[in-house]
Amino acid sequence: MSKFEAIKQAAYRANMQLPELGLVLFTFGNASAVDRKEGAFAIKPSGVPYAELRPEDMVVVDFDNNIVEGSKRPSSDTKTHAVLYKNWEHIGGIVHTHSTYATAWAQAQLDIPILGTTHADHLTADVPCAPVMNDEMIKGDYEYQTGFQILEAFTARGLKPEEVEMVLVANHAPFTWGKTVEKAVYNSAVLEELAKMAYLARQIRPDAPRLKDSLIEKHYERKHGPGAYYGQS
């Protein structure tokens, strides 16, 4: 049995959840799971329909984008995943989709504003949209540069990836991550709902105001703060 069996199985299960949750169409997305000890991650092979996907199809790649195990070509977004894993050592899984509402905000080059308590249950900031990539980066190693497009956006805004586990890439689509790939999938589904809610709220009321700070703090802290009381102990 492969020493990467655990992350291959985890990546497979995560990828299969994406169409089940309505987050991908055809082959528009990918998920990966990392093994920090081995310095490698398992990711979906490029262009393989989800209905045909098997655990053994997962491709294992190191943080320098070298294939460690697998006979198929890895996802075209593999270099982006590698950059994030290499620079953000706490994350255990990454998901990339082209889910409709989140991608629409990315195409509009806009942050998703924090308008309601559902958003505040998960993070205390707007969902950031990384700026449009410059021509030099586009003409270079595009997928590799996408990773730095995300890193630079977080640095510029003073955001911590362990607190804001999602981002929009301008004109492209969303990426999410988490301590596990299961959490990254969860964040991807949450992001799509936040995007949908914000879009609808702004359709109903174009000047819908940002949620006030006291409500943001209350809803975030009751789930994530030292005195959290949401759920079971």
CA distance 143 to 130: 14
* pTM of this structure: 0.97
182, 91 in Cβ contact below 8 A?
Answer: no
CA distance 126 to 108: 15
Mind listing the pLDDT tens digit for each residue in 58-92?
Answer: 999 999 999 999 999 999 999 999 999 999 999 99
Q: To the nearest whole number, what is the mean pLDDT of the chain?
A: 97
Burial of 136 (0-12, 13-18, 19+ CB in 10 A): exposed
Mind listing the pLDDT tens digit for each residue in 143-175?
Answer: 999 999 999 999 999 999 999 999 999 999 999
46, 28 in Cβ contact below 8 A?
Answer: no
Mind listing the pLDDT tens digit for each residue in 11-33?
Answer: 999 999 999 999 999 999 999 99
The answer to whether residue 121 is catalytic is yes
Which of the residues 50, 62, 111, 121 is marked catalytic?
121
Q: What's the pLDDT at 233?
A: 73
**What distance lies between CA 164 and its chain's CA centroid?**
10
Domain ranges of the chain: 5-224
The answer to whether residue 85 is catalytic is no
Q: What's the pLDDT at 75?
A: 97
Q: What is the mean pLDDT of residues 187-202?
A: 98
The count of other CB atoms within 10 Å of the CB of residue 142 is: 14
Whether domain 5-224 has CATH 3.30.450.20? no
Closest CA to 4 of 51, 55, 49: 55
Closest CA to 22 of 146, 180, 166, 191: 191
